[in-house]
Amino acid sequence: MKVEKAGIDDIDTLVEMRLDYLYEDNGSLSEHDIRSIRKDLPDYFRAHMNRDLSVFVIREDRSIVSCAFLLIVEKPMSPAFINGRTGTVLNVYTYPSYRRRGCARMIIETLLAEARELELSIVELKSTEAGLPLYRSAGFTDDHSKYHMMKWTNP
């Protein structure tokens, strides 16, 4: 197995993998959410893939069995990200029958190599408890800050 970048021909599979990831992460999704994701996510991928979104995959035969997204954002510079270029890791997902084979590790190592090549100041992610050992071994550290992580949700 080797890591490669997904292409436009992979979009339908990536949409289904995103849904599988969200099902597993959230326990369920509303029919409205499923329809919205299936309708709009392909356009998002077409607009962003291989521009400000890199999608790394592992295939067995021709089927994608593992993936991760690296979203690249340019922000105003600060000491925390001196060149302003940051990355966010999203949707690290391996189908259950392929877990414990090193797929996620291979993808994260490749993703971080690309982050170094792109000279990203930082790469961030949110981890589940299950993912902590992998991310820590790859060099991620807990982000202790005087700031509180907050969000606003559009009602």
CATH number, domain of 73, equals: 3.40.630.30
Predicted confidence (pLDDT) at residue 145 exceeds the cutoff of 90: no
Which has more confidence, 155 or 51?
51
Q: pLDDT at position 110, please?
A: 98
Residue 134, in any domain of the structure: no
Whether residue 135 lies inside any domain: the answer is no
Higher pLDDT, 61 or 108: 108
Question: For residue 38, is it within any domain?
Answer: yes
List 131's β-bridge partners, or say none.
none
Residue range 121-134, pLDDT digits in tens: 999 999 999 999 99
Residue numbers of the domain that contains 10: 3-129
Domain presence at residue 111: yes
Residue 10: count of CB within 10 angstroms of its CB: 19
Can you tell me the distance from the alpha carbon of 86 to that of 99, in angstroms, rounded to the nearest whole number?
A: 28
In a domain, 17, yes or no: yes
Residue at 61 is within a domain: yes
Query: Does residue 94 fall inside a structural domain?
Result: yes
Model-level pTM? 0.93
In a domain, 154, yes or no: no
Q: Report the share of the chain in percent with pLDDT over 90.
A: 88
* Three-class SS state of 83: coil
Please compute the mean of the pLDDT values over residues 131-146 and round it to a whole number: 94
Supply the mean pLDDT for the chain. Answer: 95
- Is pLDDT of 51 > 90? yes
Number of domains the chain is built from: 1
Q: Tokens 């890199």, residue? A: 54
> What's the confidence (pLDDT) of residue 59?
97
